[in-house]
Each structure stands twice: as structure tokens, then as C-alpha cells.
Amino acid sequence: MAKKATATLKGYARKAPKPAEEYLPQTIADLKAELSLLASYSTDTIYRLRYDTMQYDYVSPSVVRLLGFSQEEISKMNIRSLILETRMVAAAMKPVESFLALEEVRKRGDVNKWQADYLMRTKDGRKIWVSDISYPWFGESGAIIGSVGSLRDITDRVEAEESAKAEIARLADTDRLTGLSSRAVFFTKLEDELRRIKRNREDLSVMIIDMDHFKNVNNNYGQAVGDKVLQGVAKIIQSCLRETDTGARIGGEEFSVVLPETPATGAYWVAERIRSSVAKETFALGEENHLFGCTASIGIASARFDQNLDAGELFKIADQRLYIAKHTGRNQVSMDEIVDVH
């Protein structure tokens, strides 16, 4: 048995693969055909660009899939005419205002590798993002006469990156527990609206909402239950606001609201609707289904266009009125202005 196995192995060994050289093209024509085939099937567009004309000396057939132009059409065009925006990798992907200085650096050969993303216009008018990676192309004298590189459609990647950035920004601007705006967003919005009412000669109101005896909720029922209460109150606040209003959680059990184009009277009725809705709401305690309620106190401050109040000053006035509401009975709205409640 051993002898037979040895013979089989020897037979197998005699059938060694051919040397790699036997599979290589044997003539220049074969080599050109091979390269043409590879270029045709590549998803990237391979090119050779002349700097004197900024036109393609060669471009692979896949340019039709990329930009919609034929090889003949693209060879007669200045590529810059299709580029709407450029972001250089070496410049942290910041948009480039002018190509002139960059092109001079590249033509001198100071850049060994050119890597940039372009927003380009296709033949049918679409806009796509294209990645460009190229290297210097040297002439017979050793001087740089252009570049050799490849173009790749990266539209899907850029859109995914921008979507991810937008989501990160949204999370940074949002209170994770309640889904309302963050404290930073609230004060930015308040400053913006204070500037706007001066231009448009309008009124603006701010309210601060604070849960009454909320520490007792956490102490008696636990933080998990307290978080559910805050989420429920946040939903009530949001349901009472317009799209132009901004509700925010500014810390712990405290919320704030910016009410553009809203005088004191209008702010009072919004605040009263929030207060009464919170007072009517009941919250369940785990599996025991024990129901309990909470109340909130609210302080309101308003600004007219002819007043010179900044965000901090207006917020301080609302906070003072919240203090009054908390120390004169709670579960009420406090404001200096007289409001007809009938």
C-alpha cells in the first residue's frame, strides 16, 4: 500500500503548474489588448491628464458609466468645467476656493500623490461625488507633463457620511432622555430670537417649567420611574407647542420653552395648558400598576422689541418668577404681567 501511495504522489508532482511567464502576453499588441480589457471591466475610470490643456490624453471606457460622456467627448473637454466643488484630502476635506495655487504646486511636481473628492456634473445634469487619486506623469525629458490616475463614484459613501454627521449633530443637540432640545440649543435659539424681534418689531416669551417635589419621586420610586415621568412630561410639553417653538430640558427636572412672536398673554395660556395637563397625568409604578401624579410650577418672562435684554437676563427674570411660583403654593404659573383668566 505504501509503495502505491508513493507512486501516486510522484505522478501528482510531475503535473506541476506552468510557469507564470507562459500566461503573459507575448507581444505588444497582446499587452494592449489585455490592458484594454482590464480598463473596460474596471469600475474605476482610468485617465491620463495633460496639464497644458487640462484635457484627457487617455480615458478608459468606463467614463461613460461614470459621467455619461463618451471617450471622444471627454477628451475634448476641460475637466474643470464639470467640477462644482473640490475637497482636498490633504486639507482635511475642506472646500477649495481656487485651483490656481494648487495647480501650480502640482505642476511643479511638489505633490507626489494628488487625492481629492469632486462634486461633478454628469452629462444628464446629475450631481455625483467622485474620488480622484493620481500621480505625476513625466515626459521623456523628465519634466512633469500631467498626471495618471483614476476616478471613482463615491456618491453613496459621501451621502452616508453626511447622514452620519447630521445624526451626530442631532444627538449633540438633543437631550437623550426626553428627546427635547439640549440646554445649549435653547440658549442659542433664545439669542437668535431676541435679535430677530428687534428686526421684525415683535414680542418673545420664555418659560421655565420645574417639577414639584421631584426628588420625592426618585427617592420613593427609584430613578427609572423618575426618568419615565420626565419623558411623559416632555411629551406633554411638546404636544402644547407649535413647530416654531423650542422646548428643551435644561437640567434635572427643569425644562424651558422659547415662544417666538408670543406676548405675555399668549405665553400664559400655553403655560397654563402645560401645567394643567401635567397635573391631570398619572404615571404607573411598575407591575404593581400603582398610579401616582405630579405637578409643575412655571415662571414666564416676555421681551418686547424695544427692550435691550439678552438671553441671560430674560432667563433670569423667568427664573425669578419660577421661584415665586414654587414658594407661593406650587402647581401654578407666575408672571408679572396682568392676564385676564376669565
For 199, 263, 329, 334, 336, the CA distances from 339, given in Å and listed in that order, are 27, 11, 19, 11, 9
- Residue 242: CB partners within 8 Å, gap ≥ 6? none
Q: Which of 159, 253, 287, 313 is catalytic?
A: 253
Residue type, 295: T
Q: Residue 158 has which C-alpha cell?
A: 459621501
**Can you say how many angstroms the Cα of residue 228 is from the centroid of all Cα atoms in its chain?**
29
**Can you say how many angstroms the Cα of residue 280 is from the centroid of all Cα atoms in its chain?**
39
Name the 3-class secondary structure at 56: strand
Give the residue among 316, 296, 317 at the shortest CA–CA distance from 237: 296
Handedness of CA 37, 39, 40, 44 (dihedral sign): positive
Please count the residues of the chain.
342
Compute φ and ψ for 18, nearest 5 degrees: -70, 150
Give the residue among 248, 240, 268 at the shortest CA–CA distance from 187: 248
User: How far apart, in whole angstroms, are the C-alpha atoms of residue 141 and residue 267?
Assistant: 79
103 as an active site residue: the answer is no
User: How far apart, in whole angstroms, are the C-alpha atoms of residue 188 and residue 308?
Assistant: 17
User: What positions carry a catalytic annotation?
Assistant: 253
